[in-house]
């Protein structure tokens, strides 16, 4: 029975350094750390790869940056994912990262980056809907490749107005919702790895 802290990988589907989705998952990540999780934080450029094309993969293999992300995903027990909504759906950068990570690779089990791992989804937007329309699509994709997405997610509306310059969340309700996601993911993931 594993006796260790759960390892969570933070991934934001936005490539912007000052993305409100990145700020939102950081608030959740701090709560997850307080609940006992170890956090691996990705940089925006860590998910910037060429668009998946099997012809390119057949010629040159999986890009080095995609291989590096895959290694971090394999070491993680779960994912805390910022899910910006672009035109009512998942962002191209996040979907492309998932596509590259799902490809078969020598020495790996099928879908090793995703199967038997947990995930929590957070969306943040300056608008009134908080990016909520992209969450079901992201959930459907991850669930379909073997990831246990926790039952509830969080959409933060008006996100441009709730973060201070240092990234702290100044809205009590927003902070409580984000912290609940991070704490829950840490606790659920810890329970799952303890049962292995």
> For the segment 9-18, what is each residue's pLDDT rounded down to a tens digit?
999 999 998 9
* 146 falls within a domain: yes
Q: Is the pLDDT of residue 125 over 50?
A: yes
Q: How many domains does the chain have?
A: 1
CATH number, position 109: 3.40.50.360
How would residue 82 be classed by pLDDT, with cut points 50, 70 and 90?
A: very high
Mean pLDDT of 51-70: 96
d(CA 78, CA 73): 8
Q: Is the pLDDT of residue 30 over 80?
A: yes
Q: What residues are paired with 148 via a beta bridge? A: 118
Q: Percent of the chain at pLDDT above 90? A: 94
pLDDT of the residue at 3: 79
For 110-123, write each residue's pLDDT tens digit.
999 999 999 999 99
Q: Percent of the chain at pLDDT above 70? A: 99
pLDDT of the residue at 195: 85
* 26 falls within a domain: yes
Structure tokens at 92: 């191209």
How would residue 96 be classed by pLDDT, with cut points 50, 70 and 90?
A: very high
> Domain span at residue 142?
7-194
Q: Is the pLDDT of residue 6 over 60?
A: yes
* 1 falls within a domain: no
Q: Is the pLDDT of residue 40 over 60?
A: yes
How would residue 2 be classed by pLDDT, with cut points 50, 70 and 90?
A: low
SS3 labels along 58-107: HHHCCCHHHHHHHHHHHHCCEEEEECCCECCECCHHHHHHHHHHCCCCCC
What is the pTM for the complete model shown?
Answer: 0.95
* 2 falls within a domain: no
For 141-190, write each residue's pLDDT tens digit.
999 999 999 999 999 999 999 999 999 999 999 999 999 999 999 999 99
Phi-psi region of 107 (alpha: psi -120 to 50; beta: other; left: phi over 0): left
pLDDT of the residue at 91: 96
Contact, 134 vs 83, CB < 8 A?
yes
Mean pLDDT of 22-34: 98
d(CA 179, CA 12): 17
Burial (Cβ within 10 Å: 0-12, 13-18, ≥19) of residue 22: buried
């Amino acid at each position: 029975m594993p006796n260790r802290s759960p390892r969570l990988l933070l991934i934001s589907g936005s490539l912007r350094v000052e993305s409100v989705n990145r700020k939102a998952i950081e608030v959740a990540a701090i709560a997850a750390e307080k609940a006992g999780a170890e956090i691996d934080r990705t940089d925006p450029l860590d998910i910037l790869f060429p668009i998946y094309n099997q012809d390119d993969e057949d010629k040159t293999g999986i890009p080095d940056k995609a291989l590096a992300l895959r290694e971090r995903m394999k070491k993680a027990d779960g994912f805390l994912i910022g899910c910006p909504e672009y035109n009512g759906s998942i962002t191209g950068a996040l979907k492309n990262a998932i596509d590259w990570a799902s490809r078969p690779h020598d020495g790996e089990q099928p879908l090793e980056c995703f199967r038997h791992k947990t995930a929590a989804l957070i969306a943040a937007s300056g608008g009134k809907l908080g990016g909520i329309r992209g969450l079901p699509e992201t959930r459907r994709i991850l669930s379909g490749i073997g990831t246990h997405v926790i039952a509830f997610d969080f959409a933060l509306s008006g996100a441009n107005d709730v973060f201070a310059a240092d990234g702290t969340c100044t809205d009590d309700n927003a902070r409580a919702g984000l912290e609940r996601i991070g704490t829950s993911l840490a606790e659920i993931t810890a329970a799952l790895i303890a049962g292995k």
